[in-house]
Amino acid sequence: MDLLPSADQLDLARVAADFLAEELPRDRIRQRADESSSLDPHAWAGCADLGLFGLSVPEELGGAGCGVEEEALLFRELGRQVAPGPFLSTVLAAQLAVAVGDGDLVASVVAGKTAVGLAALRPGGTFNEHRVRGDLDLIDAVDAPLVLLLGPAGAALVETAQLGDVQPVPSIDPGVRLAAASGVDAPVSAWLPAAVQPLYLRGLVLTAAMLVGIAEACRDASTEYAKTREQFGRPIGVNQAVKHKCADMAVQAELGMAQVYFAAVSVASGRDDAELQARTAKVVAAHAATVNAASNVQVHGGMGYTWENDAHLFVKRVEVLENVLGGRTEHLGQIIALPAPQ
Partner 1 sequence: MDLDFSADQRDFRDQVRTWLHDNKPRHERPRAAAGIREYDLAWQRTQFEGGWAGISWPTEYGGRGLSLIEQLIWFEEYGRAGLPSVDANFVGLNHAGPTLMTRARDDQKAQHLRQILAGEVVWCQGFSEPGAGSDLAALSTRAEIDGDDLVVSGQKIWTSFAHVADWQELLVRTSRTGSKHQGITWVICDMHTPGIEVRPIRTMDGEAEFCEVFYDDVRIPLANVVGEVDQGWSVAMSTLSFERGTAFTAGQVRLASTVEQLIELAKERTGPDGRRPAIADDELARRLATARAEVAALRAMTYVGISRSARTGTPGPEGSIVKLYYSEMVKHVARLAMDILGQDGLRYVSRWVPGGWSGNYLYSYSQTIGGGTSEVQRNIIGDRILGLPR
Query: What is the amino acid identity at position 56?
Result: S
What residues have CB less than 8 Å from 133, skipping those under 6 apart? 125, 126, 127, 184, 185
Burial class (CB in 10 A: 0-12, 13-18, 19+), 180: middle
Query: Nearest to residue 69, comparing CAs of 257, 273, 280, 318?
Result: 257
Nearest distance in Å: CB 66, partner 1: 11
Q: Which of residues 193-252 bind partner 1 (CB under 8 A)?
A: 219, 223, 226-227, 234-235, 237-238, 240, 243-244, 246-248, 250-251
Q: How many residues bind partner 1 (CB under 8 A)?
A: 50
Could you say which of 159, 258, 319, 323 contacts partner 1 (CB under 8 A)?
258
Between CA 80 and CA 40 the distance in angstroms is 17
- Round to whole Å and give the CA distance between 316 and 289: 11
Distance CA 56, CA 199 (A): 13
| 82, 91, 276, 313: which one binds partner 1 (CB under 8 A) | 276
336 is a site residue for partner 1 (CB under 8 A): yes
The verdict on 189 binding partner 1 (CB under 8 A) reads no
Q: Assign 3-class secondary structure to 250-265.
A: HHHHHHHHHHHHHHHH
Residue 335 touching partner 1 (CB under 8 A): yes
User: Cα-atom radius of gyration of the chain, to the nearest Å?
Assistant: 20
Span of 144-152, 157-165, 179-187, 325-333 interacting with partner 1 by CB under 8 A: 325-333
Among 201, 265, 291, 318, binds partner 1 (CB under 8 A): 265
List binders of partner 1 among 130-159 (CB under 8 A).
Answer: none
Q: Closer CB to partner 1, residue 169 or residue 251?
A: 251
- Signed CA dihedral, 292, 296, 299, 302: sign only: negative
Q: Which stretch binds partner 1 (CB under 8 A): 45-53, 79-87, 137-145, 255-263?
A: 255-263
Q: Please report, for residues 6, 157, 283, 314, the alpha-carbon distance to residue 254 in angstroms, rounded to integers and kept in the order given.
A: 17, 35, 14, 18
Nearer to partner 1, 4 or 195 (CB): 4
Minimum separation from the CB atom of position 224 to partner 1 (A) = 10
Sites of contact with partner 1 (CB under 8 A): 1-6, 9, 69, 219, 223, 226-227, 234-235, 237-238, 240, 243-244, 246-248, 250-251, 254-259, 261-262, 264-266, 269, 271, 276-277, 279-280, 283-284, 329, 332-333, 335-336, 340-341
